[in-house]
Amino acid sequence: MAELPLATDLETRSRTVREAVETARHALAQARTNHDTLSREAQSRRDRLSAIETEHRAWEQRLKRAADQLEQLDKRRQTAQAEQVKIKIPPDEFAQKRQSLADQIEQAEATRRQAADQLASAETALAEKDRALKAVQEQLADIRESRARTAAALDAMTAQRQEIARMSGERFQCPPPDILKKLDLGDPAQLPDMETFEEQSTRHKAQRERLGAVNLRADEELREVETQLSHLLEERSDLEQAIGRLRQAIGSLNREGRERLLSAFQEVSRHFSDLFQTLFGGGYARLELVESDDPLDAGIEIMASPPGKKLQILSLLSGGEQALTALSLIFAVFITNPAPICVLDEVDAPLDEANVERLCDLLDGMNARTDTRFLIVTHNEVTMARMHRLFGVTMAERGISQLVSVDLERAESLTAAQ
């Protein structure tokens, strides 16, 4: 009986120990859960701290680039002010001179077209007059031939009449009208019968028919044709002189056009070579007139030699090289004949970052060198960072687009002020 309380005490202790172990297990599990949660939170905070440090470094780099850009802008401003002092001719005079040259070229082109039209009309009129002259000459030849036949027949009849008079004088010692009286034929009934006279008459008519028709107005028609021929020859001379004057005018216009074209071509080629070396950091490029010795009919071939490559045509260059070469030519034309605005659509797409920087430097130089405003469509971050103002389209609400603009110069000044 004494062992029962001992067993009960042991069982109670065992149960107590098991409950303590179970409680300890729950506490351990809870501690592990809390530990895992704290570990994940610590890792998340470490990641966040690393991201913040990375973003901080990025902002520091942006700040440094902004400071560099501010320094470049200040240099550009100083350079522009110095160039403004050097420039003596006002921009209005440049614009008037450019407009005057454009008007002169347009007027010369209109004069050339008008002269070409007049030349074509004159040549058409000359061809018509030539056809009319040929017809008149053929008619004149027919009249002259008819006149010659008539004159020959008249000469033959005159000779025949003279021969009859001569024979009458030799045989009858009298002119032909007095033959019947002198012969004293007597009664007409004794003369030859009608058949004989009809045969003689028929024979004489046949001889007359062989002589051909006689045009009694041949002399008058000849004078009319000769007068008409004289007028036609005078008109032809006037037309030939007009054609000569028109050809001289066209030749003068063509000479002036060639001179202006060659002058503009040489200037564009010189600027093209300089801009090519600027964009490529060296090399050589030129423009050539091909396919004709006449500049007005010739084509243009682009020959380029990037650094480290031989001279070759544009189509043999790589995509990026072709883009930079084409930009050099476009900007050379703008320098030669500036325009108020220039739109460039994705021109930096085939270029790497270094060439994009060169392109932006060239745009800065063009902006300082000319009055042209450049509008660039781009997705390149480097190009956007170098611009003065950005325009973008955003869709805050579905189906509704909104235009957003950012003045980078003002933003940089605000950043510098802070």
Q: How far apart are alpha carbons 272 and 337 in whole angstroms?
A: 13
Query: Is 267 exposed, middle or buried, given 0-12, 13-18 or 19+ CB atoms closer than 10 A?
Result: middle
Residue 210 has pLDDT above 60, yes or no: yes
- Whether the predicted pLDDT of 91 surpasses 80: no
CA 344 to CA 377: how far, in whole Å?
6
Q: Give dist(CA 160, CA 180) in Å, integer.
A: 19
The span from the CA of 163 to the CA of 381, in Å, is 121
Q: Which pTM was predicted?
A: 0.44
Angle at 94 between CA 89 and CA 95, to 5 degrees: 145
Q: Which amino acid is at 300?
A: I
Instruction: Please answer whether residues 268 and 338 qualify as being in contact, where contact means their C-beta atoms are separated by less than 8 angstroms.
Output: no
Q: What does the pLDDT average to over 107-120? A: 80
Indicate the pLDDT class of residue 1, thresholds 50, 70 and 90: very low
In 3-state terms, what secondary structure has residue 148?
Answer: helix
What is the arithmetic mean of pLDDT over 400-405? Answer: 83
Are the beta carbons of 365 and 275 closer than 8 angstroms? no
- The DSSP result for 253-264, as a single string, is HHHHHHHHHHHH
Beta bridge partners of 303: 286, 313
The 3-class secondary structure across 47-97, one letter per residue, is HHHHHHHHHHHHHHHHHHHHHHHHHHHHHHHHHHHHHHHHCCCCHHHHHHH
Ranges 13-27, 120-134, 344-358, most confident? 344-358
DSSP code per residue over 6-43? HHHHHHHHHHHHHHHHHHHHHHHHHHHHHHHHHHHHHH
Candidates 206, 220, 216, 211; CA nearest to 155 is: 211
Looking at residue 292, the DSSP 8-state letter turns out to be -
CA angle 323, 328, 329 (to 5 degrees): 100
Exposed e or buried b for every residue in 118-128, given b needs 16+ CB within 10 A? bbeebeeebee
Paired tokens of 418: 């802070």
pLDDT band at 159 (very low <50, low <70, confident <90, very high): confident
Pairing mode, if any, of strands 373-377 and 389-397?
unpaired
Give the sheet arrangement for strand 284-290, strand by strand.
284-290, 299-305, 312-313
pLDDT tens for 360-402 read: 888 888 888 888 888 989 888 888 888 888 888 888 778 888 8
Which residue ranges make up each domain of the chain?
Answer: 116-187+205-255
Give which of 384, 390, 383 is closest to 406, Cα–Cα. 390
pLDDT beyond 60 at 5? no
Task: Tell me what pLDDT residue 2 has.
Answer: 45
* Residue 235 identity: E
Using the predicted structure, report yes or no on whether residue 171 has a pLDDT greater than 70. Answer: no
Q: Residue 95: CB partners within 8 Å, gap ≥ 6? A: none
pLDDT at 353 over 70: yes
Contact 275, 332 (CB under 8 A): yes
Report, as an integer, the average pLDDT of 61-79. 83
